[in-house]
Every structure is written in C-alpha cells, then in structure tokens.
Amino acid sequence: MPSICFYFQVHQPFRLRSYDCFKIGYEHNYQDDLKNREIFDRVSTRCYIPANNVMLKLIEQHQGKFKIAYSISGTALEQMENYRPDVLQSFQALAKTGCVEFLSETYHHSLSFLYSKEEFIRQIGRHKEKIEQVFQQSPTIFRNTELIYNNEIANLVTELGYSGILCEGLERILGTKSPNFPCHPPKNANIKTLLRNRKLSQNIVLGFATNEWAEYRLTPMNFTRSIQQTRLPGETINLFMNYEIFSEHRWPTAGILNFMAQLPGEIFEHSDFDFKTPSEVVACNDAQEQYDAHYLNSWADDEHDLSAWLGNTLQQDAIERVYSLEKLVKETGNEELIDNWARLLSSDHFHYMCTKHWKDGDVHKYFSQYNTPYDAYINYMNIVTDLEYVLEAHCEAVTGE
C-alpha cells in the first residue's frame, strides 16, 4: 500500500530590536519583545490555532488513520510559552492523539553545522530535551534547518542515534529515480533519508498563492487524481512544507484550510493510500537506493542551495563574525549570555540580508522587518559589536585586568 507523509515546519525567530551605533556599549537587550509578541499573536490567531483545530478534527474524524508530523524550533516553543500558552496546549492535544510525531532539529533554527559541529550537537541535544519535556516524545527522526543536507550531515546525525533524516528530493541528484522511496547515504545503511516530493509539495504550497483564477485552484479531487499514479507498495509521497502556509503566508480566503480539511477524506474514498509519520515510513520500508549528496542543498529558493543565507558578502561577514565569538561566549559559563548569543545564530537574521531579486527576492522581503538587506546587516552587526564589548567586560571582571 502506498502512503502519504505530511510534515510541517513550525518556526518563529526572536526578532531583533532597532539597534543603532549609539546603543553599543550601553544597552545589552537585543530582542524586540513587542514585535515578537505582536507577530506571534497574529500568526497564532490566523494559522496555528485554526490549523491545529482542523488537524485534530481530521484525526478524530478518521479514527486515527490520518497522521502528521511537525518540527517546532526551540525559539517557537519559547514564544508559545511566553505569549500564547493556548497554542502550546493545542499542539500538546495533538501529541496526545498518538497520531502526531514531533521531529528533532537545531534549537535555534541555525546553520551551526556549517560553522561549529559542537554547537550543532549542543542545539540538537537541547531541542530533543525540550520535545521530551513538552510532548513526552523522544524524537528518532531529524530534520536540519530548512532541510539543509549532505552526506556528512546524514553521517553525523546517524552517530547521534537518529534512524531517519529529511531532505529535499532534488532531480539533479535523483536522476531518473523516484523521490517516493527511502534512500540512504553512501556507505551508511544505518539511517534512512526521506525525500520531499518537491512537485507535489509545491502543488499545495503554490496552489493557493492567489485569489485569482479560482476555477484553476487546487482541489482535493484533482490533487487525489495527481497522486494516483503512485501505486507501488513501499512508495511514500513525502509532503513537506511550512505550517504557516495555512492562512498566514496565504490569505484565509484562499481556501487552503478548507482544502486540507477535505483532502484526507477524498484520499481515503478514492485511493488505496494510507497516512504515515516519518518514523513509521522508516520502520516499514527498506532503503534500496543511495542518495549521494556531496554538496550542501536545501529546500530554499530556486537554487536549493545555501545562497538564501550565505549568497553575499554581507551574510558571510555577519555569520563568520558571530561564530568567531563562540569560544569566548561559552567560556563565560553564563547561560543567559550563551542564550543571547545563540539567538543571534537563527538563520532568519541572515535571510533578511539576502540581496536577490525577482521572485526569490520577494520572498525574502516578505519575511523581513527591515527596509533593505543593508539595514538588516548594519543592525545585526551593531548588536554583535555590543556583544563583543560585553564579553570583553566579562573577561576583565574575571581576570581583574
């Protein structure tokens, strides 16, 4: 029996306050609490609460046959606790159904694998502890920030004890192979790679991008027809996407929540598919083929590489500077200082500095609170400079010099 695996990314960063050069050395609070609360409250009202209600009803309606998975960043979980406990409770209600799986990731939604394996492992461990505490689940499947993946990441995640990892199913790596079967990295059969079916995932993501041409909009019926060519036992259509497509990145009137509310019933009635969580896919299917990803890739932008965060000198300078402080920060042993530094590692800060144009550029502008990428860079670097002053003062206090 072929399967469908729904996975949703839930993430909100701690956004930074407006921080000009005159604050350096004097003001050490970097987060914009009002902006963070405002945005999280809006997204919760428009997306998280209504989408969670739909998912819970689907699980109840189909008597546990409908299953889904989430990865929720540590920074999003903290904001649920701080600003909207009702959102956290709604995710906990989903967890109690036994039909929802929570995956492991980097706590701060960071690019830490690229710059510090130590920090990468620390964030994964901290995130896993948070998931165990909040949802009473111990994750066995890992997804890296924005599905950033290569063979080396898969091998390290294997050493950390995970049995599966998610990534983008790229045609340039797959060749003529299908993304609908679990794969494994070269010379490593101890972990299974679940590949996003990019075409069908994007059909949902883009199917409600506009209110125009409603007669051509994606419907549960035509989506079900599009998956019916997938009929081989062991095939799984991995539908991976941002959770915020449900009435946050898409207007509520676009109808995407109604589409989701009707889709499982349509699939059960007109196909022989079932729904599985990522760990069930890993447990039920062998990995027959290699997915040999020498180079780092992601699910972002048209290039599916790292250019969304590291494509220009602004981004590269900012991220190298903040990671250069790691040793000094951790040597302080000050948990608050370490956390302030780690919040600066969230990939979003570098995403705002992207200088791409056309369609990808519009995506970056949509998420950014800054007027230009250069404003984002200057604001960020002012904060990093102040953190350097804080670290210098701490060292002087400890050594007495």
The answer to whether 193 touches 170, Cβ cutoff 8 Å, is no
Q: Would you tell me the crossing angle of helices 74-83 and 85-95 to the nearest 10 degrees? A: 120
Question: Sign of the CA dihedral 236, 169, 160, 137?
Answer: negative
Detail the DSSP E strand segments found in 73-221.
100-102, 141-142, 164-168, 183-184, 192-196
Structure tokens at 147: 């599905």
Task: Count Cβ atoms below 10 Å from residue 365 Cβ, excluding itself.
Answer: 15
* Cβ within 8 Å of residue 377, ≥6 positions away: 314, 315, 317, 318, 353
Contacts of 327 (CB under 8 A, 6+ apart): none
Classify 234 in phi/psi space as left (phi over 0), alpha (psi -120 to 50) or beta: left
Contact 149, 293 (CB under 8 A): yes
Farthest CA pair distance, the chain: 75
Can 129 be counted among the known catalytic residues? no
- Residue 196 has φ and ψ, to the nearest 5°, of -65, 130
Q: Which is nearest to 205 in space by CA: 246, 169, 170?
A: 246
Q: Which residues pair with 141 in a beta bridge?
A: 164
Question: Are the C-beta atoms of residues 306 and 296 closer than 8 Å to each other?
Answer: yes
Bridge partners of residue 242, in order along the sequence: 9
Are 166 and 194 within 8 A, CB to CB? yes
Task: Please pick, among 101, 119, 146, 326, the residue that the annotation labels catalytic.
Answer: 146
The type of residue at 220 is: P
Just list the catalytic residues.
146
